[in-house]
Copies of this chain bind each other. A is one copy, B any other.
Amino acid sequence: MSRERYRAAAAVLGDRAGTVVEDAVLDVEDGMIAWIGSYTDAPPYDGELTRLAGLVAPGLVNAHCHSPMTLFRGLGEGLPLDRWLQEVMWPREARLRPADVTAAMRLASAEMLRCGVTTSVEMYVYADAVAAAVHETGARAIVMAPLLAAPGWEHLGTLEEQLERAARQAAEAETDPMIEVGIGPHAAYTVPLDILGRAGELARAHDMMLHIHVAETEDEAAELEAEHGLSVPRLLAEHGVLGGRVLAAHCVWLDDADLDVWAAHDVAVAHCPQSNAKLAAGIAPLRAMLDRGIRVGLGTDGPASNNNLDLWEEIRLAAQLARLRALDAQALSAAEAFWLATGGSAAAVDRPDLGQLEPGRAADFCHVDIDDVAFIPVESPSDLLTHLVWSAGSQHVRDTWVAGRRVVADGVCLTVDEAAARAEVRERSAALAR
């Protein structure tokens, strides 16, 4: 592939410092970023140049998601987490078939791509169907092979069978550069500890990500500790789950000692502020995590508990809740908040090849309209970043590229027939309700 050059009004790099480059050039070669910087410093180029009136930003990385739950958006409104799972979600999910998951994931990918989200960590049943749908849309995903023993989930097979399937999927996925496979034991309250330990072994043996829900609600954390005499992080450490590439979702109810366990084992966190707020789980100790050097990314969680896949909303809410928890407007800066969804999320999901506009990383990026009132005024380049976090959002994303390929143009997803996808999900959702 020859080099392609984009020239934009500005580039927000997605690094922790919040660097913004004015009059920026982004060069793409073989799906990778070959050069990024100021137009005046750009290397010689004699190809065609694509002018972008707005700013370019990295494709966002959604660090925790159950995207096919698009089928169940908004159902069980107002119930606490345990009742919502047991009374509304699990009975419906027991009726799910792979074709439902494919249809919902296809629509969810289109939604994410239109939002400028180019990578998601997917944890759901029928991982093959999830991976196939993502691949078809041109997005990237880290797809967890599920591991769950709960009523209604017997069709997943025994936990032994689930472990074997996970190992097989990991081996097969190595051929697809857009899809990575991990293993996703649901939680320490739904998967026996010995099986969790074996999942940890399997993950380390195959160098796979292990992704698990941890301490989402106060009750869950307290009940596990009462039963085992150890907090969830210590329990996981004790049973050999940690030590590999572990990503823990939520982590709302962790104390300082628990965070020390995370730091000691380099466990990363998928922070899901909107889900935690809607379901009244609590406010996770984000600032304390970051201060310990724990890798943190942002996740939407599933559209049934969010209720959409718009990661921009998580950026703003992460900053708001960190500030409210500390009663300190300096508790999370706009730059750090944006980094949490880009470079920070990429680090959290152990993918240093994604998440920032930097040579050598993947050419996953989006083009954001800055002509709107949300971007007035701009006194210094850093104001663009402030506006991205505090006044703009996914509605300002015009175009999205993944691996250098344009998948969204002027707000329209090019890889999915969205009208057809919507109609199919409506039908399948209605059928699952019966």
Contact among B274, B282, B317, B324 with A282 in the assembled complex (CB-CB below 8 Å): B324
Asked if A415 is at the interface (CB within 8 A of a chain B CB), the reply is no
- A333 near B274 with CB under 8 A, answer no
- A422 near B373 with CB under 8 A, answer yes
Asked if A350 is at the interface (CB within 8 A of a chain B CB), the reply is no
Task: Tell me the dominant secondary structure on chain A's binding face.
Answer: helix
- A308 near B78 with CB under 8 A, answer no
- B387 near A323 with CB under 8 A, answer no
- A320 near B377 with CB under 8 A, answer no
Asked if A134 is at the interface (CB within 8 A of a chain B CB), the reply is no
Asked if A154 is at the interface (CB within 8 A of a chain B CB), the reply is no
Of chain B, the residue at the smallest CB distance from A383 is B74
Of chain B, the residue at the smallest CB distance from A71 is B377
Chain B neighbourhood of A383, CB < 8 A:
74-75
Q: How far is the CB of A16 from chain B (nearest CB, A)?
A: 15
- A390 near B329 with CB under 8 A, answer no
Q: How far is the CB of A84 from chain B (nearest CB, A)?
A: 8
Asked if A85 is at the interface (CB within 8 A of a chain B CB), the reply is no
Chain B neighbourhood of A282, CB < 8 A:
324, 327
Q: How far is the CB of A393 from chain B (nearest CB, A)?
A: 8
How many angstroms from the CA of A418 to the CA of B321 in the assembled complex?
33
> Given contacts A376-B425, A422-B371, are A390 and B278 in contact (CB under 8 A)?
yes
Of chain B, the residue at the smallest CB distance from A81 is B329
- Binary interface profile of A, 405-434, with partner B (CB < 8 Å = 1, else 0)? 000000000000010001001100110010
- A329 near B78 with CB under 8 A, answer yes
Chain B neighbourhood of A328, CB < 8 A:
80, 280
Asked if A379 is at the interface (CB within 8 A of a chain B CB), the reply is yes
Q: How far is the CB of A286 from chain B (nearest CB, A)?
A: 14
Contact among B75, B330, B371, B387 with A307 in the assembled complex (CB-CB below 8 Å): B387
> Given contacts A73-B377, A330-B78, A418-B373, are A390 and B323 in contact (CB under 8 A)?
no
Of chain B, the residue at the smallest CB distance from A110 is B373
Interface residues of A in 358-383 (CB under 8 A from B): 371, 373-374, 376-377, 379, 382-383
Of chain B, the residue at the smallest CB distance from A334 is B77
- A374 near B331 with CB under 8 A, answer no
Q: How many residues on A have C-beta within 8 angstroms of the other chain's C-beta atoms?
A: 66
Chain B neighbourhood of A387, CB < 8 A:
73-74, 307
- A111 near B78 with CB under 8 A, answer no
Contact among B75, B283, B333 with A78 in the assembled complex (CB-CB below 8 Å): B333
- A390 near B70 with CB under 8 A, answer no
Of chain B, the residue at the smallest CB distance from A218 is B327
Asked if A319 is at the interface (CB within 8 A of a chain B CB), the reply is yes
Interface residues of A in 42-82 (CB under 8 A from B): 70-75, 77-81
- B280 near A379 with CB under 8 A, answer no
Q: How far is the CB of A383 from chain B (nearest CB, A)?
A: 5
Asked if A386 is at the interface (CB within 8 A of a chain B CB), the reply is yes
Asked if A345 is at the interface (CB within 8 A of a chain B CB), the reply is no
> Given contacts A308-B391, A376-B426, A391-B306, are A324 and B70 in contact (CB under 8 A)?
no
Asked if A99 is at the interface (CB within 8 A of a chain B CB), the reply is no
Q: How far is the CB of A429 from chain B (nearest CB, A)?
A: 4
How many angstroms from the CA of A276 to the CA of B72 in the assembled complex?
32
- A74 near B430 with CB under 8 A, answer no
Q: 7 interchain pairs (CB within 8 A)?
A: A110-B373, A277-B324, A280-B327, A306-B391, A307-B386, A371-B422, A373-B418
Q: Name A's B-contacting residues (CB within 8 A).
A: 70-75, 77-81, 84, 107-108, 110-111, 218, 274, 276-283, 303, 306-308, 317, 319-321, 323-324, 326-331, 333-334, 371, 373-374, 376-377, 379, 382-383, 386-387, 390-391, 393-395, 418, 422, 425-426, 429-430, 433
Given contact pairs A74-B377, A280-B329, enumerate 8 new A-B contacts (beta carbons under 8 Å).
A73-B387, A218-B327, A281-B327, A308-B374, A373-B418, A377-B433, A393-B395, A395-B395
